């Protein structure tokens, strides 16, 4: 299936406006892990400053961002493998998020399962993992929405489960016309919620996260369960939730701990 060719003029004529929040998940150990290595908060702060100094530098226009928003926009880091809208190598960063935290949970659940699919001898974790879901405000007039025409006619390309070449080519063309955000349908969320790929820091309406939730995600032979206390939400992804992806279809679910 060949990728459609979009000219700069054609892409520029399809810009839409977007105002609202997007959600992203990170493991909740992002602060606690350094606390385990230090005796005081002052020592922890010093250690985190030292760690930060070893990381690749941020893009000039991303230096005012909170670290949870800024992480994808670092210079110099080699992206180990391609993702849907980012090529492997020293390529511009992409902030991936979702319009609803439920879609973010589905994405995390899929990629957690993918890790175990690629590590057949690894037992399921004994305990649920804790994640922080955080939201960021987005405001842009330079959005390309792949869930609407004329992009929708090529939906099979944008929503391929394993081949990201068409999306990466579109992202290259989109950057050439200063696109800030690409909106697309999640292929991991059974509810088909929408994801956002922020190509530029300028798409953020605020430099800091707006809201946070704590989620606990458990993987087992029965699937994936996710719980949030505030607000009270419970999600479950049975064993067949992601079976359309050939990598998950072959997953050995009946593994045991050591």
DSSP notation for 124-151: PPSSPEEEEEEEEEEEEEEEEETTSTTG
* Per-residue pLDDT band at 35 (split at 50, 70, 90): low
Is the preceding peptide bond at 70 cis, omega within 30 degrees of 0?
Answer: no
Work out the average pLDDT over 246-250: 94
pLDDT in the model for residue 258: 46
Kindly provide the b/e burial profile for residues 127-153, where b requires at least 16 CB atoms within 10 angstroms of the residue's own CB.
eebebbbbbbbbebebbbbbeeeebee
Residues 6+ apart with CB under 8 A from 243: 249
Q: Give the Cα-Cα-Cα angle 62, 199, 189 (nearest 5 degrees).
A: 120
Q: Give the Cα-Cα-Cα angle 173, 175, 181 (nearest 5 degrees).
A: 110
> Which pTM value belongs to this model?
0.88
Radius of gyration of the chain from Cα atoms?
19
Angstrom distance (rounded) from CA 134 to CA 69: 10
pLDDT in the model for residue 50: 66
164 or 7: whose pLDDT is higher?
Answer: 164
CB 242 within 8 A of CB 101: no
CB 183 within 8 A of CB 96: no
Domain ranges (residues) in the chain: 8-249
Residue 65 has pLDDT above 90, yes or no: no
How many CB atoms lie under 10 A from the CB of residue 28?
A: 16
Range with the poorest average pLDDT among 6-20, 74-88, 116-130: 74-88
pLDDT in the model for residue 156: 95
Report pLDDT digits (tens) over 72-112: 887 566 888 899 999 999 898 999 999 999 999 999 999 99
How many CB atoms lie under 10 A from the CB of residue 83?
A: 16
Angstrom distance (rounded) from CA 170 to CA 4: 8
Q: How far apart are the first and last CA of the chain?
A: 45
pLDDT in the model for residue 34: 67
pLDDT in the model for residue 56: 58
């Amino acid at each position: 299936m060949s990728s459609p060719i979009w000219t700069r003029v054609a892409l520029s004529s399809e810009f839409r406006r977007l105002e609202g929040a997007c959600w992203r998940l990170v493991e909740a150990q992002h602060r606690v892990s350094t606390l385990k290595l230090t005796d005081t908060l002052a020592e922890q702060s010093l250690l985190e400053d030292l760690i930060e100094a070893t990381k690749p530098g941020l893009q000039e226009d991303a230096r005012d961002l909170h670290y949870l928003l800024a992480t994808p926009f670092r210079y110099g880091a080699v992206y180990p493998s391609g993702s849907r809208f980012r090529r492997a190598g020293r390529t511009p960063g992409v902030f991936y998020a979702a319009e609803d935290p439920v879609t973010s949970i589905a994405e995390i659940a899929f990629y957690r399962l993918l890790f175990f699919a690629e590590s057949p001898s690894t037992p399921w974790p004994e305990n649920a993992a804790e994640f922080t879901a955080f939201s960021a405000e987005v405001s842009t007039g330079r959005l390309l929405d792949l869930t609407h025409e004329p992009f929708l006619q090529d939906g099979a390309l944008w929503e391929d489960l394993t081949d990201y070449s068409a999306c990466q080519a579109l992202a290259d063309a989109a950057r050439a016309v200063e696109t800030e955000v690409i909106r697309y349908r999640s292929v991991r969320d059974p509810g088909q919620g929408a994801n956002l790929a922020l190509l530029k820091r300028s798409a953020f309406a605020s430099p800091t996260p707006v809201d946070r939730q704590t989620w606990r995600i458990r993987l087992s032979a029965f699937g994936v369960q996710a719980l949030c206390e505030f607000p009270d939400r419970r999600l479950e992804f049975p064993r067949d939730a992601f079976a359309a992806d050939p990598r998950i279809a072959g997953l050995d679910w009946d593994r045991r701990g050591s």
